[in-house]
Amino acid sequence: MYEMLKLENLRVHYGAINAIKGIDLSVEKGKLVTLIGPNGAGKSSTLNAIMNIVTSKKGKIFNKGKDITKDRTDEIVKNGITLVPEGRKIFPNLTVRENLMIGAFGRKDVDDIKRDFDFVLELFPRIKERLKQTGGTLSGGEQQMLAIGRALMGNPEVLLMDEPSLGLAPLLVRMVFDVINKIKAEGRTILLVEQNASMALADADYAYVLETGKVVLQGNGKDLLMDAKVKRSYLGIN
Amino acid sequence: MSVNLDMNVLIQNVFNALSLGGLYALIAVGYTMVYGILRLINFAHGDIFMMGTYFAFYAITLLFLPWWLGFLCAICLTGLLGYSIEKIAYRPLRNAPRISSLITAIGMSFFLESFAVVVFGGIPKSFNVYPKIFSQVIIMGKTRIPILTFITIIVTALLFLFLWWLLYKTKTGLAMRAISVDIPTTSLMGANVNKVISVTFIVGSAFAAVAGILWAMKYPQVQPYMGFTPGLKAFIAAVIGGIGSIQGAIVGGFLLGFLEIMIVGFLPSLAGYRDAFAYVTLVVILMFRPTGIFKIYSEQKV
């Protein structure tokens, strides 16, 4: 199995607060790996640390065996890792088309960009109808589709997703997970952070449970779904 | 109070207002672009404008370059100056509290003024380095308009066209517009944020240099504090237009230019209050529209 992403003893702190207290994590090529856990467990911080948009971190991060701990964010993106940030963070002042095109900022392969653009529009027909509108006029669900589409425009090998289902209606949550599976079927590797533990675990090849900055449990997604502690804490089943 | 109403005077004043407003707008764009991206008021911008005129002056008088090459060199050098200021003074403070970079900007302004006094001398220098044809006057009937006024209007228009092209037709421009909303997310798109911010400073400073050179030809002298008043007026223009908004800076610049010229033109007895009108306009507009005429997107940031 080929290891795409590996974290070694990752630690992140914001001032005096230790958000992550030493995490080891590994993501294999073509797999869907999920991070679950309560608020403040350090899930988003882990993704932000991989992208190097946190101010202070220790430990090591490897992409395909290469140490990327100190790389600049834009270099990390150019090397094939893209983040769909929490809260979507689409650009409200840019048109939907521009939002998608900026996702391909670091790329020069014009023909492939066109192909990915068509693929994204096929994946999200709703977005296609709104190419000329500004991003700020979209509904929450459409913004989430745009955020995922924008990340796909970077043609990432590894897609990091930070709570893509947050604040969406159940039907849209289902749709987001369908899209995630489609992206995986394309051969991309996904590291998914989710609050919706039951859906994330059902689809995941492997899962890590984070609590107060540490990995407390890990294993096959379906096994964790059956785990008594996970059931009690995250699935609300006794 | 005598009111001066005459068609020829009106036409003349419209041209003067267009050229003065254009100059304010050119400088204001530099303020607003930097504010839009870094939420920093670059107090040194008026002094960058001043440095541009000195660069032009020395390129022509010391290096004996032809006037057009001297101007071009000055514009490029001023762009480089803006780039260096951002890199040396502002970039290390990017994540510091905003008050730190604000104080640094004020410090940079004092530094540039003092540098100019020490190195270039405090005595105003006559800016007679451009071909005499620029100062000739075109006479159309009873209307007399200096060629320089036409040139100022044309150059300003061309530069705004260039700016529009940069912002809306290039990838760098796309990133500039994105960065003004959200810097970290723009870097997540694979854009080198530092590079984009550098381009912003280079363009803003080069625009200030062009404005400075045109200004120095209009009032043909250069001195170390010449950037203060135009810088302040342009800042007001940017605030009136809605700081952070480029359309706002342009509209604000022209609004201020028209107001100043028309008040002096039609109510000559109030000419002494010329500068006061700029400040009064600022107060009035901010009373009714605290965000300026154009609102920028940052308020809607989620």
Q: What is the DSSP letter of B92?
A: G
Q: Percent of chain B at pLDDT above 90?
A: 76
Examine the domain organization and report whether A76 and A168 are in the same domain.
yes
Half-sphere exposure of B166 (CA within 13 A, CB side): 15
A191 inside domain: yes
Q: pLDDT for A134-162, tens place per residue? A: 999 999 999 999 999 999 999 999 999 99
B286 to chain A, closest Cα gap in Å: 24
- Contact check, Cβ <8 Å, A89/B171: no
For the stretch B20-49, pLDDT in tens is: 999 999 999 999 999 999 999 999 999 999
- Ranges A88-102, A164-178, B39-53, B133-147: which has the least confidence: B133-147
Q: What value does the mean pLDDT of chain B take?
A: 92
pLDDT of B301 reads 38
Is residue A12 assigned to a domain? yes
Instruction: Compute the CA torsion angle B27, B30, B32, B36 (nearest 10 deg).
Output: 180
Tokens of B125: 């220098």
Q: What percent of chain A has pLDDT over 90?
A: 83
Rounded to an integer, what distance in angstroms lies between the CA atom of residue B258 and that of residue B263?
A: 8
Verify that A140 and A51 share a domain, yes or no. no
Yes or no: say if A10 and A46 are a contact pair by the CB < 8 Å rule.
Answer: yes
Q: Specify whether A73 is located in the same domain as A169.
A: yes
What pLDDT, on the 0 to 100 scale, is given for residue A238?
Answer: 62
- pLDDT on residue B2: 57
φ/ψ of A85, rounded to 5, equals: -70, 160
What is the value of pTM for the model shown? 0.92
How many CB atoms within 10 Å of residue B80? 15
Please report which confidence band the pLDDT of residue B198 belongs to, taking 50, 70 and 90 as the band edges.
Answer: very high
Summarize pLDDT for A193-206 with one digit per residue, the tens.
998 888 999 999 99
B126 at interface of A, judged by CB pairs closer than 8 A: no
Give the start-to-end residue ranges of the domains of chain B.
7-300
Residue in A85, A87, A93 nearest the CB of B177: A93
Residue A74 has pLDDT above 50, yes or no: yes
Q: Which of A81-95, A173-187, B225-239, B275-289 has the lowest average pLDDT?
A: B275-289
Shared domain for A222 and A127, answered yes or no, is no
A75, A10: one domain: yes
Residue A60: CATH number of its domain:
3.40.50.300
- Mean per-residue pLDDT of chain A: 93
Nearest to B181 among A92, A106, A107 (CB): A92
> In this structure, what DSSP letter does residue A95 have?
B
User: Is B180 near chain A, with CB under 8 Å?
Assistant: yes
On whether both A140 and A182 belong to a single domain, the answer is no
Q: Which two tokens stand for residue A153?
A: 């425009």
Lowest mean pLDDT among A20-24, B40-44, B115-119, B287-291: B287-291
pLDDT at A51 over 50: yes
**Final residue in a domain of this structure, among A129, A155, A181:** A155
Distance from C-alpha of B178 to C-alpha of B191, rounded to nearest angstrom: 10
Host domain of residue A148: 90-155
CA distance B29 to chain A (A): 19
**At B152, is the secondary structure helix, strand, or coil?**
helix
The third-level CATH classification (topology) of the domain covering B7-300 is: ABC transporter involved in vitamin B12 uptake, BtuC (1.10.3470)
pLDDT digits (tens, 9 = 90+) for A98-143: 999 999 999 999 999 999 999 999 999 999 999 999 999 999 999 9
A100 shares a domain with A72: no
Within-domain flag for A105:
yes
Q: How far is B35 from chain A (nearest CA, A)?
A: 16
B187/A contact by beta carbon, under 8 A: yes
For testing contact with chain B, the best of A105, A148, A159, A163 (most B CBs within 10 A):
A105
Is A194 inside any structural domain? yes
Residue A73 belongs to a domain: yes
> What was the pLDDT predicted at B245?
92
Which residues in chain A have Cβ-Cβ distances shorter than 8 Å to B186? Answer: 102
Chain B residue with minimum CA distance to A87: B302
Asked if residue A188 and residue A223 are part of one domain, the reply reads yes
Residue A85 lies in a domain: no
User: Do residues A179 and A197 share a domain?
Assistant: yes
Residue B261 and residue B266: Cα distance in Å, rounded? 8
Confidence of residue B302 (pLDDT cuts 50, 70, 90): very low
Please tell me the total count of domains within chain A.
2
Tell me which chain B residues have a C-beta less than 8 angstroms from the C-beta of A150: 189
- State yes or no: pLDDT of B206 exceeds 90: yes
